[in-house]
Structure 1
Amino acid sequence: MNVPADTDGTDSGGPEHPSASETAGHFLPAGTFAGKRVVVTGGGTGLGLEMSRGFAALGAHVIIPSRTEANQAAFLEEAQARGWQASGAQVDVREPDSVRRLADSILEEHGPVDVLVNNAAGNFVCPAERMSSNAWRAVLGIVLDGTFYCSKEFGKHMMADGRGGSIINIIATYAWTGMPGVVHSASAKAGVHAMGKTLAAEWARYGIRVNAIAPGPFESGGANKNLWPNEAVQERIRASVPLKRFATREEVAAQALWLASDAGQYVTGATITIDGGMSLGAGMMWEPGERVGRPKTGRSSEGGAS
């Protein structure tokens, strides 16, 4: 079983202004992104917020486009309190003209973008036979179309600038396994998975790296509400994870930061799975530590000679 890893606009991201050492940025050296400009779509809530905090704590100027200013408030307030460089912007990633205007305005106001994180997403559980066409289009529009429109517009600016850049897509492990109840999200994420590999191959000559992270279950108020709303469901999920716990937002966000940093500068077209071993099929045959193999009698289970 693989578990949806994304929700949109439902999680403020945790306690107000926690210690800076609690951001995902503490895994990398201070100043890792000093002087860099980073765009995180949907970067004001949930996992997007945690990635935004990590990039900002490491010196980047972080721009968080979203459809509503309300979803930007928590990060912008924290950034002001901490002295981080941060800006908000409005965009509907489903609309190519809106994305083009966003990319052009950021270039004009802040300069060329070094890192784009395609994080904007929407998800909910619904059996395929009950899913409306509007629900299908809404999720594919945000996840698949939005990722392409943003990659295209910001990618063109990276090409023109000549310094290259890094694009990171947020997908999920069910992009290649499928999962009941999320046919819209699984289909969209599978498309983004293929898109990222294609763009990585096409744009490598421009110095643009395109990678993805695929989280399994992680701690998120939005996911708790929409995907695993009670303790019984959460415990069943934990039992299926070899590490027997959910990831923290910081652990997931740290992988995006690493991919965008100079430490990942020779990595492109890759997908990092962050699921505590959930997709490995552990426990299908026996429990860890259980004795396995042929009997010590030297006889086969059918009674013949071993």
Structure 2
Amino acid sequence: MKMLQAPESVLAEHYQDLRRKPFYPALIRYMSSGPMVAMVWEGYNVVRASRAMIGHTDSAEAAPGTIRGDFSVHISRDKVAFITGGGSGIGFRIAEIFMRHGCHTVIASRSLPRVLMAARKLAGATGRRCLPLCMDVRAPPAVMAAVDQALKEFGRIDILINCAAGNFLCPAGALSFNAFKTVMDIDTGGTFNVSRVLYEKFFRDHGGVIVNITATLGNRGQALQVHAGSAKAAVDAMTRHLAVEWGPQNIRVNSLAPGPISGTEGLRRLGGPQASLSTKVTVSPLQRLGNKTEIAHSVLYLASPLASYVTGAVLVADGGAWLTFPNDVKGLADFASFSSKL
């Protein structure tokens, strides 16, 4: 669940308006207690211990070259992966893991300083090439220019990872039309824009792999998430449609749906003020948060020859959280009644 923030003007307008709503204090209380904090309760040492047990280490805590994995280091040798939202969070870790397995990468984001810094770190740590590009996934001309530049640099693109996204908590009745549209434009529109451009410019004639980073929100109703749930459900539907239509051109299309992942902007936003301090998910079957490296390895699998007969699928990597995580509608009752007035 990598988060590409919506345009600053939209978010500023949205949050300034939200803070004036009578339910805002209740929203903050909800984010600071109950299941949102139960999700992330028992301290950073829990995730460190779980990582040690499973043999995964987030590179934020490890020296370059120390990330362990069970894939051949040559599984993506000399492939080229185009990663939207690759400048930070899960997208950055996906780029790192792909590069540690022989891949060159293109990382694209709206923030040029962010991707420039990220590309330097990635190339320095892995010895592979990383091209940073400034691109807004909502703008097809910008996407076309970025893909052209990537093809000029590498001569090919084998893998597309659609990781750019936007999200925040908000009751449907308080959600502005512009905020809803912005999330749909980034998540759903952006995924189609980049996929469509790459299909036209390279994949149609050469084949390729697309992995869309989505979420489990569309699998069931979720309070405060109508915008993101709708957008991600649409992307999962898009995954199936494109898998059917583009399969004859040797293009595989799959989705990867992460759950609550430690050390991400998404968890900090959606898990409330305590999320960055804690890590145990008492309401999920595996009783812990995931980490970015686990998600990156799942994406690597879907993009690799190991998944050569997998297309049109949604791989859920959330420790089973979507099966058991509580939907605390009752906890929202003290401000939900205001939605009809907004």
Q: TM-score, normalised by structure 1?
A: 0.83
Report Cα offsets for 1:13-44 as digits up to 9, x if no partner.
86377332326xx2310111111110000111
Three-state SS of the structure 2 residue aligned to 1:27 is coil
Question: What 5-or-longer segments of structure 2 have no aligned partner?
Answer: 7-57, 327-342
What corresponds to 1:29 in structure 2? Answer: 72
Counterpart residue type for residue 222 of structure 1: E
Matched AA of 2:83: V
Identity %: 34
What SS does the aligned partner of 2:160 have? strand
1:250-280 Cα shifts (integer Å, max 9, x gaps) = 1111110000011011100011011111233
2:149 to 102, 105, 126: 105
The 1-side partners of 2:277 and 2:154 are apart by 43
For each residue in 1:183-226, what CA deviation from the matched residue of structure 2 results, as whole angstroms up to 9, or x when unmatched?
11111101000001000000000000000111111112413431
Query: What's the RMSD between the two structures over aligned residues?
Result: 2.4
Residue pair 2:279, 2:288 contacting (<8 A) in 1 also: no
Judge which range, 114-123 or 89-98, deviates more: 89-98
Name 2:4's counterpart in structure 1: 8
| 1: CA distance, partners of 2:145 / 2:63 | 34
Q: CA deviation at 1:73?
A: 3.5
Q: Does 1:67 align with 2:63?
A: no
Shift of 1:232: 7.9
1:20 to 39, 47, 65: 65
Distance 1:53 1:150 in 2: 21
Deviation at 1:80, TM superposition (A): 3.3
Taking the TM superposition and a 5 Å limit, the aligned residue runs for 1:1-306 are: 5-8=1-4, 15=60, 18-22=63-67, 26-82=69-125, 83-162=127-206, 164-231=207-274, 238-281=281-324
The Cα shift of 1:150 comes to: 0.5
Alpha-carbon spacing, 1:22–1:14, altered in 2? closer, same or farther (3 Å): closer
Q: Please give the alpha-carbon distance, in whole angstroms, between the structure 1 residues aligned to 2:93 and 2:70.
A: 13
Aligned pairs, how many?
274
The answer to whether the 8 Å contact 2:281/2:288 transfers is: yes
Structure showing the higher helix proportion among its residues: 2
**Structure 1's 240 and 17: CA in aligned 2 closer, same or farther, altered over 3 A?**
closer
* Change in CA separation of 1:224 and 1:266 when aligned onto 2, cut-off 3 Å: closer
Q: CA deviation at 1:227?
A: 1.2
Are 2:86 and 2:92, in contact at CA under 8 Å, matched by a contact in 1?
yes
Alpha-carbon deviation of 1:72?
A: 1.1
Whether contact under 8 Å (2:119, 2:131) holds in the other structure is: yes
Change (3 A) 1:183 1:237: farther
Runs of 5+ consecutive residues of structure 1 not aligned to the other structure: 284-306
